[in-house]
């Protein structure tokens, strides 16, 4: 009976140990699971935080892009208003013309003038002053945009608007030829078209308009081709004034050359004089040293006798 009880106790103890061990390993496994879940939660929180930051940046960028879109829409609306009004288009063309010329030529009134008044009472948008002549090369801005846009936007009526567009171009050519070509100007004038698209269409589809313009001594230019005209005029002006002043330039260079030669000669004389002075100073130094040595040599016996007789001058107050 006692042995059976002991066996039961032992079995119970073993079961308790197994239960405790199982609970220990279960708690450890639960701790690992909890740690894993906590780490996963931390990573999830970090991901959510980064996502929130990115979403906030996207929101900011979206607002910025929205503001830019609004500004762009306002600018496009302003451009549309300018393009839809003939007077405003003309003002814009004049501004673009003046800005381009000023960019490449500067503000020199000797080369280019804005709003040039002619003797016939006409006022051109600008005038180029050429060397060796009082005559000017006038340039005027024209912006034939309305019928061109209708021709592009309304294909069913394109033929009609193309005729109107060509009629507008011819009218502008005739106006420039009649107003800005006279005895006060050259036999040619420039008609500035601010739109590259319109100019390209004329060059591609309106060769007859180009020929007509040339027959009227009018040269059509766009912002791009105007730069070439401006550069050519600027180069010819510079070459003319350079050639005109070449004689004076050579005279000044010759004068500078003579002055430089004289300066070199004077510098050489100064160097020779300085060398002579240095030699004389060296000779003077040698003579002084020799004289001092001779005085010391001559005075030595006298000083020796005076010292023997007790009449050394430094001990004789009456000697002074």
CB 184 within 8 A of CB 124: no
**What is the spatial distance between Cα 98 and Cα 113, in angstroms, rounded to a whole number?**
9
Residue 57 in domain:
no
- 67's enclosing H/E stretch is helix 2-84
Residue 301 in domain:
no
Q: What is the DSSP letter of 130?
A: P
pLDDT range class, residue 73, cuts 50, 70, 90: low
> In terms of Cα–Cα distance, which of 146, 145, 133, 152 is closest to 193?
145
Residue 104 in domain:
yes
Neighbours of 44 (CB within 10 A): 10
Residue 126 in domain:
yes
pLDDT beyond 70 at 76: no
Range 207-235 average pLDDT: 86
- pLDDT averaged over the chain? 77
Residue 107 in domain:
yes
Work out whether strand 189-192 and strand 136-141 pair parallel, antiparallel, or are unpaired. parallel
For residues 272 and 70, which has the higher predicted lDDT (pLDDT)?
A: 272
CATH of residue 215's domain is 3.40.1350
Q: Is 36 exposed, middle or buried (0-12, 13-18, 19+ CB in 10 A)?
A: exposed
Alpha helices in 181-245 (DSSP H): 196-205, 207-215, 223-244
pLDDT range class, residue 80, cuts 50, 70, 90: very low
pLDDT of amino acid 174:
92
| Structural Rg of the chain based on CA atoms | 52
6-45 pLDDT tens trace = 676 677 777 777 777 777 787 777 777 778 777 887 888 7
**What is the spatial distance between Cα 310 and Cα 107, in angstroms, rounded to a whole number?**
99
Question: Range of 188's domain?
Answer: 77-244
Residue 310 in domain:
no
CB 114 within 8 A of CB 241: no
118-162 pLDDT tens trace = 888 888 888 888 777 788 889 988 877 778 878 878 888 888 888
Sequence-ordered strand ranges (E) for the chain: 112-117, 123-129, 136-141, 189-192, 218-221
CA 46 vs CA 36, 40, 51, 54, 59: distances in Å: 15, 10, 8, 12, 20
153-179 pLDDT tens trace = 888 888 888 888 888 899 999 999 999
Structural domains of the chain, count: 1
| CA 103-106-109 angle, 5° bins | 135
pLDDT of amino acid 283:
82
**What is the spatial distance between Cα 30 and Cα 11, in angstroms, rounded to a whole number?**
28
pTM for this predicted structure: 0.49
Sheet of 112-117: strand order equals: 112-117, 123-129, 136-141, 189-192, 218-221
Residue 7 in domain:
no
Residue 291 in domain:
no
């Amino acid at each position: 009976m006692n042995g059976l009880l002991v066996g039961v106790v032992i079995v119970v103890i073993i079961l308790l140990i197994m239960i405790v061990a199982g609970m220990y390993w279960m708690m450890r496994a639960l701790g690992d699971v909890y740690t894993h879940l906590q780490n996963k939660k931390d990573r999830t929180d970090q991901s959510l935080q980064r996502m929130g930051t990115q979403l906030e940046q996207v929101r900011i960028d979206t607002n910025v892009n929205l503001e830019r879109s609004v500004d762009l829409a306002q600018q496009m609306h302003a451009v549309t208003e300018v393009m839809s009004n003939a007077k405003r288009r003309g003002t814009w063309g004049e501004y673009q013309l003046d800005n381009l010329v000023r960019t490449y030529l500067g503000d020199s009134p000797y080369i280019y003038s804005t709003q040039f008044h002619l003797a016939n009472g006409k006022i051109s948008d600008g005038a180029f002053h050429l060397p060796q002549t009082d005559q000017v090369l006038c340039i005027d801005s024209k912006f034939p945009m309305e019928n061109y846009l209708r021709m592009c936007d309304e294909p069913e009526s394109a033929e009609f608007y193309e005729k109107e567009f060509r009629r507008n171009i011819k009218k502008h050519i005739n106006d420039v030829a009649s107003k800005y070509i006279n005895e006060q100007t050259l036999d040619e004038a420039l008609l500035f078209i601010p739109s590259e698209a319109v100019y390209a269409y004329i060059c591609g589809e309106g060769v007859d308009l180009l020929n007509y313009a040339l027959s009227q001594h009018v040269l059509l230019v766009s912002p791009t081709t105007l730069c070439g005209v401006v550069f050519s005029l600027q180069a010819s002006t510079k070459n003319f004034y350079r050639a005109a002043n070449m004689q004076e330039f050579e005279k000044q260079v010759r004068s500078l050359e003579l002055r430089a030669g004289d300066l070199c000669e004077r510098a050489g004389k100064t160097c020779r004089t300085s060398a002579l002075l240095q030699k004389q100073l060296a000779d003077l130094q040698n003579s002084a040293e020799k004289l001092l040595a001779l005085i010391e040599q001559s005075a030595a016996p006298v000083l020796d006798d005076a010292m023997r007789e007790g009449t050394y001058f430094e001990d004789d107050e009456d000697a002074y």
